Every structure is written in structure tokens, then in C-alpha cells.
Structure 1
Amino acid sequence: MRMRPTLSWTPAEDPIPGTTDPGPVADALGAGGVLVLSGAGISTESGIPDYRGEGGSLSRHTPMTYQDFTASARARRRYWARSHLGWRTFGRARPNAGHRAVAAFGRHGLLAGVITQNVDGLHQAAGSEGVVELHGSLSRVVCLSCGAVGSRRELARRLEEANAGFDPVAAALNPDGDADLTDEQVGGFRVVPCSHCGGVLKPDVVFFGEAVPPRRVEHCRDLVSGASSLIVLGSSLTVMSGLRFVRQAAQAGKPVLIVNRDPTRGDRHALTRIALPLGAALTAVADRLGIPVEAPTAA
């Protein structure tokens, strides 16, 4: 029986340079008990752009804030028009090699859990179980009045009926499923209310300016506490919602490994940063461990 390596690590005072050697990630996974924290970068190979990488959407797009959404019917119309159009593409996205590799690691008992900052559901579509959706999921909508939770696909059907012929050309798609449209393009869009109480519907995601539910944060902290190491996949760690778990792991002396092509806010806490595309890096890791990564099935 092959002995699993034991990793030890002391935080660095200065950020580490990127490397192209995925060996340390393979070693961490071989030791088992790995907690995965994924960000938008793992979904770019599925056609969903990220926020802060090269060409990231924040360079041209300001996401809707919770305060704007709740305060203004005009803002909600703009959001739902853009999100409805974006959902047509976003909802068709399929898992890529990175998502499938994470699912394969889970099936082989190497993971302590998966936390994702993404709202696209692609980890689950690839077969990962027990995924914690830190920022929620675009596949659900919630009523701000009665709290009813519904299906995004059902809402999409209702919006199609209410906006027959709505088919503008978007400039781009964003990581939150929002398509770039002008005010003129969204001017006549009709928003539909909650089918239970007539209240305001919101996607079941954490908007910018909105806090992650405390119980969800505590669950993630428990996962970090129980993990042997933390591997960050495709996140710049710019926002505290993800960075806090990296800091927690580092303070507990647990190895933190980052796979991200660009430098991140968490590099100073990491054992290594692998500057490779996620799909190629994780496929190489799976090969080293002798774990097959399932190819996508035909539609």
C-alpha cells in the first residue's frame, strides 16, 4: 500500500512566484483530506468569463449591487432583462476538464469537501457531491416578500411569455450570468412577480454589497478546520468571502496551494501557486495520481 505523504508548511513573509509544476497539488491530493475552494477561473473553459483575469468583466462591467436591486424597480428591470438574456447562454454551459477532475478526486475519496464561489452549478453537473455554493446559485430564485424558492428555468419560461420577441444582441456575458445591454435595449422589458404572493423576485445569489449567510460561512469554517490542506482553483481571492478561508487555513498551519494563472491576494499564505490553465493542470494532477477523468458524454 502506497504511503500518503505528509505536508508541512510555514507562512511566507513575501508572496511566492508562480510555477508550472503541479507536483505539490498531486502530493496534497495524494495525502487526502483536501478542501477545494473554486472561483470563476475554473469555469472560463466552459465559456463563462471571470471577473478579474485578463479581459475580465470588471474592466468593463459593474455588477448589480443588492442595494440598487432592492431600491429601484428600474434597476430590477435592467437586471432581469440582462440576466434573462444571459441565462440563455449561461444555462447551456457544460462542465470542463477542471470540473470533471475535481469530481474524480471526490469519487476517489481524496476531498474533504468543495466550496465554490461560482453560481453556475458546474461542479454538481460534473458529478461533485455536497458542494457548498458560497454565493448561491443562479438555478434558483427567491421571493423577497414571502421567501418562496423557485426554479430559474420556470422563471425563464414566464419571462419568455411576458417578453415575446425580446432578442437583443449583447456585447458580452458576465460571470454572474448578466449580459451587457444598453438602457435602450432593456427599456420595454417586463419583469414578472412572485407567483405565490406577487412580491419581488431575486436570483438566489449573494449580490455585491450583500453578506454571505452566517450559517453558510460557519459551515465553510468547519470544513476548513477538518481539512488537511486547502487547494484554491481559479480565484483571485480579491474579496474577503473566499480569502478568509485561506487565512484560516494558513493560521492553522494547513498547507494552502493555489492554481491560478495570475497572482492572487492569497499568494503570501500559500505553499505554491501553479500558473497554469485549470483544465490542463488538474488533468496532469489526475494523471500523476492514476485517476481517470471522465470525458463528457454526448448530448
Structure 2
Amino acid sequence: MLEGAPDTPGKALDEALDRALGVLASRPVVALTGAGLSTDSGIPDYRGPGSPRRTPMTYQEFVSGHHAQRRYWARSHVGWARMARAEPNPGHHALADLERAGALHGLITQNVDGLHTAAGSRTLIDLHGRIADVVCLGCDRRSPRDELQRRLAALNPGFVEAAGESVETAPDGDAALEATDGFRLAECAGCGGALKPDVVFFGENVPRDRVARAYAMVDAAGSLLVAGSSLAVMSGLRFVRHARKIGTPVVIVNRGQTRGDDLADVLVDGGCSEVLPAIAAVARLSWTDDGRTNGTVVRS
């Protein structure tokens, strides 16, 4: 745990970062990322400082029938047009750089935006799925989200334009849109069943094999770096608890408190876009290809 706060916020951040580097630079790293990493790409989060209270649709509500699905897909049709334009920010690129440097041995993300892949990360577990994929609830057929977007646009011409740019973008690729009556749904091209984004909704379980792979990744880690997650839900917190249980050091980089603060060896209260590039810069100088260091931590 971090000790008493130094004299100034800048000094506190520098000293916390030095401690984080001291932990990470001597061990192969696995990262766990959350929504706070993507806010600098224009994607809002659920629980960050200043975030409004949000009530996302649950899995039970989505599968309840046509009305809920029409509401979801109408909002998603508007939101996707914006999310699809999002680009990886320096935090995403820093984690990809860490992987290329041999320092990061795996990445578990709670985000569904696909920005880690776009930034170049390869050893990746999309814990909650990807919003860019669609699955049929009837036949389990997978298809690309941009293909569905074209079908929805043909069924609902002018809908996105009518919503206007003033409609607030919400997390997970939807929009705060209330007027959804009359929106026409697209059915599965294979069986005519109901379509769902291939993501884990609130109230839905992460597939067991995916969880098992994530635990195995944490088991093989020398340290766990949590970036941009409040750890408010057990989906991510369980891996921090597991790391602590097996004696793996934990570093948390996040703006504000997290539910896992008492499990961390080092807390860095800062933005991912600033902190992660600083860590990656050290990796380029200090880590060798096998994930070990030359014994020197160098701050640029």
C-alpha cells in the first residue's frame, strides 16, 4: 500500500510511479484494463470521477422480448456510428509497446471497444467480448457489427441523422436516446433469430473458458498491472484478489479510488494516457526480450 501523501500532487505522482516501476521492472507483467483507459479516446465510462449515474440494460431485460431489443438496437445504431470512429490513445499504444518490448506477457481487458487490438496488442483476452461482433441468440451465428449497421441503416433511413449530434454517447457503444418507437430490427441472416452484441451484459456470466484462460494468465504473471478500472464489479476484482492470494504484486493505475486499493502494493492516482507511456518508456530501456531487466530502472 502507498504510505502517506507527499507534499504536492506532482510529487505524489512521481513517487508513486517510481514505486510502480520498481515493482514492474523486475517481473513479467500481465495487465487488466477497464473503461478509464478509453475515456481519452472519447468513450465515456460508468464509474469514473464525474461520470453521471447510468443504468445500462441488463441481460434479463434484453432477452425479455422485442420491445427491449428494439430500444437497445435503436440506441446502439446511433452510438455505433460514433464509437466506430474512436481511435486508440497513448495508454493503449503504451501497452502494445510493452508487449513488443517483451515486458507485457498478456492483457485482460474489461472493455468491449476493440481499441487494444487496434493499437497492436496481440496476447489479449477480451473478457466481456467485443462490441464489433454480433451473435444470434437462436443459432449462435457470429457476424460483424458493421455489416449489421448497414442493414439497420437500410431498414431505418435517416435515423442516425434525425437523432442529431447533441444526443449523449453512452458507454458500450450506445446513446442516450429515448425516441425508439418505430425502429425496425434486423434478424439473423441465417435463421431469422434475435441478434445480440457479442458482449457480456450486466447480469450475464462471462464464459467459463474465458475466465479460466484469464486466471491462467494471472497465474503465469510476475506482476499484475491494473489500468483504468475501478474494480467495482467482481468480473475484474476477482483477478486482483487471486493475484494477492498467490503472492503476485499488484500495481493499480487509476484516477480516484478503486475497490481493490487495499489489495495493491502500489497505487498510482493518475491518468492512463500519462502514466502508461512513462512505464513503456522505461521498458524500452530496461527490459530484455525475455521479460527480465538489466537491473536498472531509468526514468526518462
Alignment RMSD: 1.9
Q: CA shift at 1:24, angstroms? A: 2.8
Cα deviation per residue 1:27-48 (whole Å; 9 max; x = unaligned)? Answer: 3332241110000000000000
Once residues 244 and 200 of structure 2 are traced to their aligned partners in structure 1, the CA distance between those partners, rounded to angstroms, is 26
Answering whether residue 144 of structure 2 is matched by residue 151 of structure 1, we say yes
> What aligned pairs does 1:74-223 form with structure 2 within 5 A after superposition?
74-166=67-159, 167=161, 168-169=163-164, 171-182=167-178, 185-223=179-217
TM-score, with normalisation over the residues of structure 1?
A: 0.88
Question: Would you say the 8 A contact 2:252–2:268 is kept in 1?
Answer: yes
Partner of 2:271: 277
Q: Which residue of 2 aligns with 1:9?
A: none
Which amino acid in structure 2 is aligned with residue 45 of structure 1?
Answer: D
In 1: Cα distance, 2:269 partner to 2:201 partner: 29
The CA distance in 1 between the partners of 2:36 and 2:4, in whole Å, is 19
Task: Check conservation: 2:80, 2:174, Cα contact below 8 A.
Answer: yes
Q: Give the letter aligned to residue 178 of structure 1.
A: D
Cα distance in structure 1, aligned partners of 2:154 and 2:123 = 35
Distance 2:243 2:284 in 1: 28
Instruction: Classify 1:29/1:272 alpha carbon distance in 2 versus 1 (closer, same or farther; 3 Å).
Output: closer
Q: Deviation string for 1:133-173 (max 9, x for gaps)?
A: 00000010000000100000000000000000112135311
CA contact (8 A) 1:112 1:227 kept: yes
Q: Which amino acid aligns with 2:168?
A: A
Task: Give the letter aligned to residue 250 of structure 2.
Answer: V
Corresponding residue to 1:51 among 43, 46, 50 = 46
What SS class does the counterpart of residue 40 from structure 2 fall into? helix
Offset at residue 290 of structure 1 (A): 4.0
Is 1:23 aligned to 2:40, yes or no? no
Cα 1:49–1:32 shift into 2, 3 Å = same
5+ unaligned residues in a row in structure 1: which ranges?
A: 1-11, 292-299
Cα contact 2:49–2:255 (8 A) shared by 1? no
Is the CA contact 2:225–2:250 (under 8 Å) kept in the aligned structure 1?
A: yes
Structure 1 residue matching 2:71: 3-state secondary structure: helix
The one-letter amino acid of 2:122's match is E
Q: Measure the CA separation in 1 of the matches of 2:171 and 2:26.
A: 33
Structure 2 gaps, min length 5: 286-300
Count of aligned positions: 276
* Cα separation, 2, equivalents of 1:275 and 1:24: 12
Amino acid at match of 1:78: R
Distance 1:110 1:138 in 2: 28
Matched with 2:290 is none
Structure 1 residue corresponding to 2:228, chosen from 234, 242, 253: 234
Give 1:87 shift: 0.3
Q: 1:255 aligns with which of 249, 257, 269?
A: 249
CA distance in 1, matches of 2:202, 2:148: 22
For residues 64 and 41 of structure 1, the distance between their equivalents in structure 2, rounded to whole angstroms, comes to 20
